[in-house]
A and B are shown apart, each in its own frame.
Chain A
Amino acid sequence: MAQATFRIWRGDSQNGSFQDYNVESAPGMVVLDAVHDIQGSQAPDLAVRWNCKAGRCGSCSAEINGNPKLMCMTRMSTLDLSQPITVEPMRAFPLVRDLVAHVGSNYRAKKSIRPFKPRPPDFPDGTWRMHQRDVDRVQEFRKCIECFLCQDVCHVLRNHGLHEQFIGPRLFVYSAALEMHPLDTESRAGALKHSHGIGFCNITKCCTKVCPEEITITDNAIIPLKERVVDEYYDPIRRLFRVFTG
């Protein structure tokens, strides 16, 4: 079995440092296995958040060799074991301790998004009918596991710390799922422009690259929302048209 050196961030929001741990790499092992090995034998006080170990819960998000990834879905065989493997917490959020970041700002931002408001039921029994062709688009967004890797990699949050002015890719996906829903009657364009900061996104597509569920965040959620904001605020012909049509 090969030896791997893990360089793991240890510390809290005040101070800390990287510390090296040696682990035996076994076939089929993932980074989370190695972290558990370290926690079990070398550093019992190492704080790490995890749950399903199957890429479904989105709890074990971290930065492995500088790339935001789920630890449970990153196989050791994909990493270069001749160099230390760096494992850090998500940098876009306040650090709690070691590998655990505080992601509460995302839940606060989610509450600021106008909730689903369906049209009146289509039938007396209180039900609706939808065409599959209308539902297809939003189904992709339902795959999100809220791992917040997209929020972590977004430079608007990560490098510029605009958490209060910009809700971030995950919550644009959530907004798109509501905004494009065939039953929804609410308009979120105003909020997207004024309080959710969609104009801060400069389409780097980093969020799409890191999504473990392979949601095409930029092309299918953010850009369509940007276009809806353009409809509402930046298209003079459409605005003129609205003057006459009401």
Chain B
Amino acid sequence: MSSIDVPLRQGRFGQTSRRDLWWVQPLVVFCALSAFLIYANWAAFQGEHFRFGPYLSPFYSPELWGDPVESWFGAKPAWWPGWLPFSAAIIILWAPAGFRVTCYYYRGAYYKAFWADPPSCTVGEPRTHYRGENSFPLIVQNIHRYFLYLALIFLFFLAHDVWKALWFTDSAGAATFGIGVGTLVLAVNVTLLGGYALGCHSLRHLIGGRRDLFTSNTRRNAYVCVSCLNRRHMLWAWMSLFWVAFSDIYVRLCSMGIWTDWRLL
């Protein structure tokens, strides 16, 4: 029997008795979210190469202002501040971004990866003071359900983009039905975003979780369906995040002539 002096109290930042590679997961989350943030900001401020044939990048959908012909309300609005570079994406991206930032899954993930609060389970933290989501600014996370409402509206626009991606203009200028790789890319995108948004914890609450009695089998079935998606919420969150960026890359590279969009039908 030998003796080793180790104080039994919560220690400094990073102190733990864990032997596994606990730092890998927060590091991967940090790198993945940082890479997405950098790319999404870069792509949003480009303001070009977001349309190719019938395809529209999901970062720019719906295009409220921008292209005088294709957008809903015409060119750049007069009220747009002169010092801020204009892009059709900036006007809309705050809504899906807000949905992800206030998402219950992402909150837990980025509190660990970006704030080390905590860095991982049973690992020492850098700060002694803690307020959680009780006060400003994190109390604002409670508006998640309002971003959900917006995200559900966006799903309709993105589904409509898939419909439009089925109609190609032929050499005579007529719209003909077709399916390209880009059509599939956009279809997968709306499917993954649907799986993510429809498995939202707030939707699960609003659709039936807020009640102690379901009152009908329809409500109960709806709750079960949302719960089913909710069980894999993390997976949907990451797959949809990756694919929405890939969809933009696909449209962008096709528009720049670097990639060729193959017609399947």
Segment from B10-18, B27-35, B44-52, B61-69 that makes contact with A: B10-18
> Which positions 35-90 of chain A face chain B at CB distance < 8 Å?
42-43, 63, 65-68, 80, 83, 86, 88-89
Additional A-B contacts beyond A134-B214, A159-B10, A160-B128 (4; CB < 8 A): A20-B3, A200-B133, A201-B132, A219-B230
Q: Which residue of A lies closest to B209 (CB)?
A: A224
B251 → A minimal CB distance (Å): 34
A203 / chain B contacts, CB cutoff of 8 Å: 104-105, 107-108, 111
Contact of A230 among B2, B5, B19, B142 (CB under 8 A): B142
Residues B130 and A162 in contact, CB atoms below 8 Å apart: yes
Is B217 an interface position by the 8 A CB rule?
Answer: yes
The answer to whether the Cβ of B160 comes within 8 Å of any Cβ in the partner chain is no
B220 partner residues in chain A, CB cutoff 8 A: 133
CB contacts (< 8 Å) of A163 on chain B: these are none
Complex contact A155–B8 (CB within 8 A) = no
B202 engages A199 (CB within 8 Å): no
Q: Using Cβ atoms and an 8 Å threshold, which residues of chain A touch B121?
A: 153, 155, 204, 206, 209-210
Asked whether, in the complex, the Cβ of B134 is within 8 Å of the Cβ of A19, the reply is no
Could you mark each residue 75-108 of chain B with 1 if its beta carbon is under 8 Å from any beta carbon of chain A, else 0? 0000000000000000000000000000011011
Q: Contacts A205-B108, A230-B145: A20 and B1 contacting too (C-beta < 8 A)?
A: yes
0 or 1 for each of B125-136: is its CB under 8 Å from A? (1 = yes):
100101111100
CB distance from B174 to the nearest CB of A (A): 47
Contact A202 B117 (CB under 8 A): yes
The minimal Cβ–Cβ distance linking B163 to chain A, given in whole angstroms, is 31
Q: Is B205 an interface residue (CB 8 A)?
A: yes
Is the C-beta of B210 less than 8 angstroms from some C-beta in chain A?
A: yes
Task: List chain B residues, Cβ under 8 A from A227.
Answer: 145, 201-202, 205, 209-210
The distance from the CB of A88 to the nearest CB of chain B, in whole angstroms, is 7
Contacts of B17 in A (CB 8 A): 63, 65-66, 86, 88
**Chain A interface helix/strand/loop/mixed:** mixed
Q: Does A110 contact B (CB under 8 A)?
A: no
B118 to chain A, nearest CB (A): 4
- The verdict on A95 contacting chain B, using a C-beta distance below 8 Å, is yes
Given contacts A19-B3, A20-B4, contact A219 B201 (CB under 8 A): yes
The answer to whether B111 and A42 have CB atoms under 8 Å apart is no
Seen from chain B, the residues whose Cβ lies within 8 Å of a Cβ on chain A are 1-6, 8-10, 16-19, 104-105, 107-108, 111-112, 117-118, 121-122, 124-125, 128, 130-134, 138-139, 142-145, 201-202, 204-205, 209-210, 212-214, 217, 220, 230-231, 233
Chain A residues proximal to chain B, CB less than 8 Å: 7, 9, 11, 16-21, 42-43, 63, 65-68, 80, 83, 86, 88-89, 91, 95, 131, 133-134, 153, 155-156, 158-160, 162, 179-182, 184, 197, 199-206, 209-210, 218-219, 223-224, 226-228, 230-231, 234-235
- A177 to B253: give the CA distance in the assembly, Å: 53
- Distance, CA A153 to CA B122, complexed state (A): 6
User: Considering only CB atoms, which chain B residue lies closest to A166 in the complex?
Assistant: B132
In the bound complex, residues from chain B placing their C-beta under 8 Å from that of A66 are 16-19, 122
* Complex contact B6–A223 (CB within 8 A): no
Known contacts A19-B3, A159-B118, A159-B125; is-contact A91 B8 (Cβ 8 Å): yes
9 contacts between A and B (CB under 8 A): A21-B1, A83-B19, A95-B8, A131-B213, A155-B121, A162-B130, A200-B131, A203-B111, A227-B205
